Copies of this chain bind each other. A is one copy, B any other.
Amino acid sequence: MPPRGDVIEEARRQWRERWGDEPVPSMAAVTSIMRAQQILLARLNELLRPWDLTFPRYEALMLLHFSHRGSLPLGKMGERLQVHRTSITNIVDGLERLGYVTRVPHEHDRRTTLAEITDAGRRAAVEATEALNAARFGTEPLDDDALEALFETLLPFRAKADAFDVEAAPRA
C-alpha cells in the first residue's frame, strides 16, 4: 500500500504557500463540510432506498409528520427546509407519486396549496427513521462527542438562516 494523502491537507499546503496562513482555516472548513455532505448524502440515500426516499424527500416528509395538522403550505415547507420554490415543488411531486403525500386546497385560502401526509407516508416516515436511527444517520466512525461538537459549532452559523417564528412552529 502506498502512503495515503488527503485532498484537503494538500489544498491547505497549496493555500499556505500561495496566500499565507490567514485564509487556510476557512478554506479547509468549507471544503470539509462540502465533502462530508457529499459522503453523508450518498450514505443516507442508500439507507432510504427501500422507501424510494432521498434525504431531501425524507426531510420534507418528517416536517409534515411532525406538523400539527399533518399538512403544510408548500411555501412554508420551502422556508423551513431552506429550499427554493421549484425544489419543494419537485420534492412534493416525488412524495405524491409515491403515495406518501396528497395535495389539498387550503381551507380558507384557495390560492394556497397544502401538502398533506397520507397513512402510507406516516408508515414510511416512521420506518425510515428507525432505519436511519439504527445506522446513526451514516455518521460512522464519529462518536457522540464529535457529533455534539459539530452541532454546537455550526449553531451560530446556522442561527440566522434557520430561525423561524415560534408562533408558527409545529406543535406536537
> Roughly how many angstroms separate A27 CA and B139 CA in the complex, as a whole number?
9
For residue A109, CB closer than 8 A to chain B, the reply is: no
Are B32 and A166 touching (Cβ within 8 A)?
Answer: no
For residue A99, CB closer than 8 A to chain B, the reply is: no
Are A23 and B137 touching (Cβ within 8 A)?
Answer: yes
Are B32 and A151 touching (Cβ within 8 A)?
Answer: yes
> Roughly how many angstroms separate A133 CA and B170 CA in the complex, as a whole number?
40
Are A30 and B158 touching (Cβ within 8 A)?
Answer: no
Set B4, B37, B130, B133: member contacting A33, Cβ < 8 A:
B37
- A130 CB contacts on chain B under 8 angstroms: 19
The chain B residue with its CB closest to the CB of A17 is B172
> Which residues of chain A from 116 to 138 have a CB within 8 Å of any chain B CB?
129-130, 132-133, 136-138
Are A151 and B4 touching (Cβ within 8 A)?
Answer: no
Contact status of A149 and B149, CB under 8 A, knowing A6-B162, A36-B158, A166-B2? yes
Are B82 and A19 touching (Cβ within 8 A)?
Answer: no
Besides A19-B129, A35-B161, 14 new A-B residue pairs in contact (Cβ under 8 A), listed by A number: A5-B165, A7-B162, A13-B172, A14-B66, A23-B133, A26-B137, A28-B147, A29-B139, A32-B158, A33-B40, A34-B40, A36-B158, A37-B37, A149-B153
15 pairs, CB–CB < 8 Å, chain A vs chain B: A2-B166, A4-B163, A6-B158, A7-B162, A13-B172, A25-B144, A26-B139, A33-B36, A34-B55, A35-B158, A35-B161, A36-B158, A38-B82, A38-B83, A142-B156
* 3 interchain residue pairs of minimum CB distance: A23-B133, A29-B147, A25-B147
